[in-house]
């Protein structure tokens, strides 16, 4: 019996290596594009998250206070703050919401205590935060995040007149 041995050519090996190299290159390109798409999606979510978090937080806080006298504006250390009052066990507490060092902060304290800007808890990172009260006792709140995205709210505590 004669066995025919397949003749191996160097071109067969070269073609296999070239095909494998092309496969690896396409895989790397696919991974590169997928990683870039994922990074862009996460970055977009993070950019919008700060502004949306701050806006949702402010909306909920004002809706929790159903009386015009529970919400007012004031200043702490020459910084504008939105103030929300609560009575707990006969004692009056104030929640201050303000911008300090590029962060929207909340400070919950008794009315008698001295409030300091540095004592607040960070809610979101923002560039600007402004509050204007309209004659109808609505609060126009404007926010800008670090990427230049802006948001505006028009909120009223309690029932509008």
Torsion sign over Cα 113, 121, 48, 128: positive
Q: Is residue 58 part of a domain?
A: yes
Per-residue pLDDT tens digits for 119-160: 899 999 899 999 998 888 889 999 998 888 889 999 888 765
Using an 8 Å Cβ cutoff, are 122 and 97 in contact? no
Tell me the average pLDDT across 83-100.
91
Count Cα atoms within 13 angstroms, Cβ side, for 91.
9
Q: Is residue 142 part of a domain?
A: yes
Q: Is residue 55 part of a domain?
A: yes
Using an 8 Å Cβ cutoff, are 71 and 91 in contact? no
Q: Is residue 116 part of a domain?
A: yes
Q: Measure the CA–CA gap between 130 and 128, rounded to whole angstroms.
A: 7
Per-residue pLDDT tens digits for 8-34: 677 888 888 999 999 999 999 999 999
Q: Is residue 51 part of a domain?
A: yes
**What is the structure's pLDDT at 65?**
82
Tell me the average pLDDT across 79-101.
92
**What is the structure's pLDDT at 137?**
83
Q: Is residue 94 part of a domain?
A: yes
Per-residue pLDDT tens digits for 34-68: 999 998 888 777 666 788 889 999 998 988 887 76
Using an 8 Å Cβ cutoff, are 139 and 156 in contact? yes
Write out the H or E segment, with its range, that includes residue 65: none
Per-residue pLDDT tens digits for 62-87: 888 877 678 899 888 899 999 999 88
**The two three-digit tokens of residue 132, written as one number:** 């204007």
**What is the structure's pLDDT at 70?**
85
Domain hosting residue 123, numbered range: 46-155
Q: Measure the CA–CA gap between 129 and 133, rounded to whole angstroms.
A: 14
Q: Measure the CA–CA gap between 77 and 75, rounded to whole angstroms.
A: 6
Q: Is residue 160 part of a domain?
A: no
pLDDT beyond 60 at 161: no
**What is the structure's pLDDT at 4?**
60
pTM score: 0.70
Using an 8 Å Cβ cutoff, are 131 and 80 in contact? yes
Tell me the average pLDDT across 96-111.
92
Q: Measure the CA–CA gap between 75 and 121, rounded to whole angstroms.
A: 17
**What is the structure's pLDDT at 6?**
60
As a whole number, the mean pLDDT across the chain is 86
Please give the tally of structural domains in the chain: 1
Q: Is residue 74 part of a domain?
A: yes
- 3-class DSSP state for residue 86? strand
């Amino acid at each position: 019996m004669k066995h025919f041995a397949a003749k191996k050519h160097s071109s067969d090996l070269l073609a296999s290596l070239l095909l494998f190299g092309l496969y690896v290159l396409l895989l790397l390109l696919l991974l590169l594009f997928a990683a870039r798409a994922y990074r862009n999606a996460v970055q977009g979510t993070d950019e919008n998250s700060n502004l949306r978090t701050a806006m949702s937080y402010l909306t909920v806080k004002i809706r929790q206070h159903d009386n015009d006298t529970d919400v007012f504006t004031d200043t702490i250390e020459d910084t504008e703050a939105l103030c929300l009052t609560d009575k707990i066990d006969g004692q009056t507490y104030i929640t201050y919401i303000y911008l300090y060092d590029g962060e929207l902060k909340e400070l919950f304290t008794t009315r008698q205590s001295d409030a300091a800007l540095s004592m607040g808890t960070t809610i979101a990172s923002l560039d600007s935060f402004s509050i204007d009260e309209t004659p109808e006792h609505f609060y126009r709140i404007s926010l800008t995040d670090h990427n230049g995205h802006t948001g505006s709210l028009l909120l009223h505590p309690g029932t509008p007149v």
